[in-house]
Amino acid sequence: MSVAYPSARQRLQGTGRSLLSMPFAYVGTVALLAVAYMTTPALVSPMLLLLIVRQAVPLAIAVIGQSLCVRVLSLDLSIGGVILAVSYILTSGIIRYPEPVLLIICILFGACIGALNAFFIVRIKASSVIVTLAMALILSGIVISLSQLRAPGDAPALLRYIGQARWGIVPIAPFVWLALFIPIGWFLRFSVFGRYVDAIGANPQAALLSGIPYARIVTTAHILSAVLAVFSAFVLVGFVGAGSLDIGRDLPLSSLVAVILGGVTFGSGRGGAFGPAVAAFMLTFSFNLLTSLGLGEPAKLMLQGAIIAVAAASYSAQRRS
């Protein structure tokens, strides 16, 4: 079989196409930084940028799990509920154990919630959106009613340190993200599990027919997503320094938007790990920019809604053509 080498023109077209298929987050981040530089130059000082990077860490951690779910054609909207519950477990003093044990309990709790989500999605075959929304409802309902008995208090010292300490001017929270991001990204890229995830995302029917352990992969994705939500909660609780009842409320939606902006699309099997991470920074930055321009929560919600709609529509249009 002879191999046809691409001509110069074809190669140029290829480059153009790969530029176009680059995650929107890369272009978007550059554009946003430029806009911020022109409207509110104070926002792009290194000091503030580092703060925004730190602020983006909980979202960036949650995004790793969410992108895994989206890649296997599922969604996890229970992240907010998990974060709320973890924050309550850590800060209310309802369970009295040394801090490290408490952290392990939280991780196990996250794994249980993820497994429960996966059970309903994989075995009962219920819609992941509805299952995870119901789970968030259950968790937040229980936590809020419990907190009438025992209000949340201070965060564990270890987490406060992680959330607030810096080395020089560099905050240490982003290193928590790196410690999770690098191994998971490497694992997804080079392991069989990662290939399976790609296969399911590209064509679920084909994946099922070729004997890929579909149920196990989706289950693992959901358990990982919930456990990562727990880590995101650790950083978030550390930041705030105390428990709160609206901690992590906007993370489920923001993480979904970041995944979409990061170039992971529903059912194309495409998408790396780095795009969503950049998108997490971009979103956090854009929320700060919106706030500095005097547009608060409403603009944020409208922007997110529009992003989901446009991204989903353009993906559907592409698939049809």
Give helix then strand counts, H and E, for the chain. Answer: 14, 2
DSSP type of residue 289: H
For 39-72, give the secondary structure using H, E and C: HCHHHHCHHHHHHHHHHHHHHHHHHHHHHHHHHC
Neighbours of 86 (CB within 10 A): 31
From 28-36, 56-64, 121-129, 274-282, span contacting another protein (CB under 8 A): 121-129
Of 35 and 299, the one with the shorter C-beta distance to another protein is 299
Q: Which two tokens stand for residue 318?
A: 């592409």
Neighbours of 4 (CB within 10 A): 6
Candidates 35, 48, 115, 134: give the one binding another protein (CB under 8 A): 134
From 128-136, 168-176, 224-232, 279-287, span contacting another protein (CB under 8 A): 128-136
Q: Report the distance separating Cα 288 and Cα 193, nearest Å.
A: 37
Query: φ, ψ for residue 211 (rounded to 5)?
Result: 80, 20
DSSP type of residue 156: P
253 binds another protein (CB under 8 A): yes
255 binds another protein (CB under 8 A): no
Candidates 18, 148, 210, 321: give the one binding another protein (CB under 8 A): 148
Closest CA to 72 of 211, 216, 182, 177: 216
Whether residue 112 contacts residue 57, with contact meaning beta carbons closer than 8 Å, is answered with no
Whether residue 263 contacts residue 24, with contact meaning beta carbons closer than 8 Å, is answered with yes
CB of 310 to another protein, least distance (A): 8
CB of 315 to another protein, least distance (A): 8
Candidates 62, 63, 64, 75: give the one binding another protein (CB under 8 A): 75
Q: For another protein, how many residues bind (rule: CB under 8 A)?
A: 52
CB of 261 to another protein, least distance (A): 14
Candidates 266, 268, 274, 291: give the one binding another protein (CB under 8 A): 266
Candidates 31, 34, 137, 206: give the one binding another protein (CB under 8 A): 137
136 binds another protein (CB under 8 A): yes
Query: φ, ψ for residue 235 (rounded to 5)?
Result: -65, -40
Place of tokens 């495409």: 270
Q: Which two tokens stand for residue 286?
A: 């854009």
E strand or H helix at 167, and its extent?
Answer: strand 166-167
Candidates 151, 158, 193, 204: give the one binding another protein (CB under 8 A): 204
Candidates 35, 50, 52, 73: give the one binding another protein (CB under 8 A): 73
Of 55 and 140, the one with the shorter C-beta distance to another protein is 140
112 binds another protein (CB under 8 A): no
DSSP type of residue 44: G
Of 193 and 266, the one with the shorter C-beta distance to another protein is 266
Closest CA to 59 of 180, 183, 164: 180
120 binds another protein (CB under 8 A): yes
- Residues within the interface to another protein (CB under 8 A): 72-75, 120-122, 124-131, 133-142, 144-145, 148, 204, 214-215, 218, 253, 266, 297-306, 308-309, 312-313, 316-317, 319-320
